[in-house]
Amino acid sequence: AQSVTQLGSHVSVSEGALVLLRCNYSSSVPPYLFWYVQYPNQGLQLLLKYTTGATLVKGINGFEAEFKKSETSFHLTKPSAHMSDAAEYFCAVSKETSYDKVIFGPGTSLSVIP
Protein backbone atom coordinates (compact mmCIF):
# COMPACT_ATOMS: atom_id res chain seq x y z
CA ALA A 1 0.00 0.00 0.00
CA GLN A 2 1.11 3.49 -0.72
CA SER A 3 2.00 5.82 2.12
CA VAL A 4 3.34 9.31 2.55
CA THR A 5 5.42 10.63 5.42
CA GLN A 6 6.17 14.25 6.16
CA LEU A 7 9.00 14.91 8.59
CA GLY A 8 7.96 17.53 11.08
CA SER A 9 4.33 18.29 11.85
CA HIS A 10 5.29 21.90 12.48
CA VAL A 11 8.09 23.96 10.96
CA SER A 12 8.99 27.54 11.85
CA VAL A 13 11.20 29.76 9.73
CA SER A 14 12.13 33.40 9.82
CA GLU A 15 10.88 35.71 7.11
CA GLY A 16 13.41 35.65 4.29
CA ALA A 17 14.87 32.28 5.29
CA LEU A 18 14.87 29.08 3.28
CA VAL A 19 11.76 26.92 3.50
CA LEU A 20 12.33 23.16 3.37
CA LEU A 21 9.41 20.78 3.90
CA ARG A 22 10.25 17.10 3.66
CA CYS A 23 8.19 14.38 2.02
CA ASN A 24 8.95 10.72 1.50
CA TYR A 25 6.68 8.18 -0.10
CA SER A 26 6.43 4.47 -0.57
CA SER A 27 5.13 3.22 -3.84
CA SER A 28 5.55 0.03 -5.79
CA VAL A 29 5.07 1.78 -9.11
CA PRO A 30 6.14 5.17 -10.42
CA PRO A 31 3.92 7.67 -8.73
CA TYR A 32 2.42 11.01 -9.41
CA LEU A 33 3.49 13.40 -6.65
CA PHE A 34 1.79 16.53 -5.41
CA TRP A 35 2.10 19.33 -2.91
CA TYR A 36 -1.11 20.99 -1.82
CA VAL A 37 -1.38 24.07 0.40
CA GLN A 38 -4.21 24.91 2.77
CA TYR A 39 -4.52 28.48 3.97
CA PRO A 40 -6.56 29.14 7.13
CA ASN A 41 -10.27 28.44 6.70
CA GLN A 42 -9.84 27.44 3.07
CA GLY A 43 -9.78 24.29 1.04
CA LEU A 44 -6.63 22.78 -0.40
CA GLN A 45 -5.14 24.07 -3.60
CA LEU A 46 -2.46 22.57 -5.79
CA LEU A 47 0.99 24.06 -5.29
CA LEU A 48 2.85 21.88 -7.77
CA LYS A 49 2.97 18.35 -9.14
CA TYR A 50 5.29 15.83 -10.72
CA THR A 51 3.89 13.44 -13.31
CA THR A 52 6.60 12.75 -15.89
CA GLY A 53 9.61 14.50 -17.37
CA ALA A 54 11.81 16.97 -15.54
CA THR A 55 12.33 15.99 -11.93
CA LEU A 56 12.62 19.58 -10.70
CA VAL A 57 9.14 21.02 -10.65
CA LYS A 58 8.28 24.66 -10.19
CA GLY A 59 4.99 25.72 -8.70
CA ILE A 60 3.13 28.80 -7.67
CA ASN A 61 4.39 31.46 -5.25
CA GLY A 62 8.06 30.62 -5.80
CA PHE A 63 7.91 27.05 -4.51
CA GLU A 64 9.66 24.14 -6.17
CA ALA A 65 10.18 20.44 -5.47
CA GLU A 66 12.52 17.79 -6.77
CA PHE A 67 11.53 14.18 -7.39
CA LYS A 68 14.35 11.86 -6.33
CA LYS A 69 13.43 8.32 -7.19
CA SER A 70 16.47 6.79 -5.49
CA GLU A 71 15.53 8.49 -2.23
CA THR A 72 11.75 8.18 -2.72
CA SER A 73 11.53 11.84 -1.81
CA PHE A 74 9.73 14.92 -3.04
CA HIS A 75 10.87 17.75 -0.76
CA LEU A 76 9.36 21.22 -1.12
CA THR A 77 11.57 24.31 -1.02
CA LYS A 78 11.35 28.07 -1.34
CA PRO A 79 14.47 30.26 -1.18
CA SER A 80 12.93 33.07 0.85
CA ALA A 81 9.92 32.72 3.13
CA HIS A 82 7.20 35.33 3.14
CA MET A 83 4.64 35.93 5.84
CA SER A 84 1.91 34.89 3.42
CA ASP A 85 3.45 31.41 3.17
CA ALA A 86 2.14 30.50 6.62
CA ALA A 87 -0.21 27.59 5.96
CA GLU A 88 -0.61 23.82 6.14
CA TYR A 89 1.23 21.89 3.44
CA PHE A 90 0.30 18.40 2.32
CA CYS A 91 2.39 16.05 0.26
CA ALA A 92 0.36 13.52 -1.72
CA VAL A 93 0.91 10.58 -4.05
CA SER A 94 -1.12 8.67 -6.57
CA LYS A 95 -0.44 5.95 -9.09
CA GLU A 96 -0.24 6.74 -12.77
CA THR A 97 -2.93 4.18 -13.43
CA SER A 98 -5.35 5.78 -10.99
CA TYR A 99 -4.09 9.27 -10.58
CA ASP A 100 -7.13 10.56 -8.83
CA LYS A 101 -6.94 8.05 -5.96
CA VAL A 102 -4.73 10.35 -4.00
CA ILE A 103 -3.07 9.42 -0.70
CA PHE A 104 -2.23 12.40 1.49
CA GLY A 105 0.51 12.80 4.04
CA PRO A 106 -0.28 14.05 7.56
CA GLY A 107 0.63 17.63 6.73
CA THR A 108 3.20 20.15 7.93
CA SER A 109 2.16 23.44 9.45
CA LEU A 110 4.51 26.24 8.40
CA SER A 111 4.89 29.31 10.58
CA VAL A 112 6.82 32.35 9.38
CA ILE A 113 8.35 34.54 12.06
CA PRO A 114 8.71 38.26 11.32
Partner 1 sequence: DADVTQTPRNRITKTGKRIMLECSQTKGHDRMYWYRQDPGLGLRLIYYSFDVKDINKGEISDGYSVSRQAQAKFSLSLESAIPNQTALYFCATSDPRDLKRVELFFGEGSRLTVL
Residue 71 sits at φ, ψ, to 5 deg, of -105, 0
* Residue 34 makes contact with partner 1 by CB under 8 A: yes
Least distance to partner 1, CB of residue 17, Å: 25
Q: Strand 10-14 vs strand 108-113: parallel, antiparallel, or unpaired?
A: parallel
Give the Å distances, CA to CA, from 68 to 44, 54, 72: 24, 11, 6
- Which residues on adjacent β-strands are paired with residue 96? none
Check residue 67 for interaction with partner 1 (CB under 8 A): no
Considering only residues 21, 107, 110, 112, which one is a binding residue for partner 1 as defined by CB under 8 A? 107
Of 18-26, 62-70, 75-83, 92-100: span binding partner 1 (CB under 8 A)? 92-100
Residue 41 binding partner 1, by CB under 8 A: yes
| Cα dihedral 25, 55, 52, 90 in deg (nearest 10) | 40
Catalog residues that contact partner 1 under the rule CB under 8 A.
4, 9, 32, 34, 36, 41-46, 49, 51, 90, 94, 99-102, 104-107
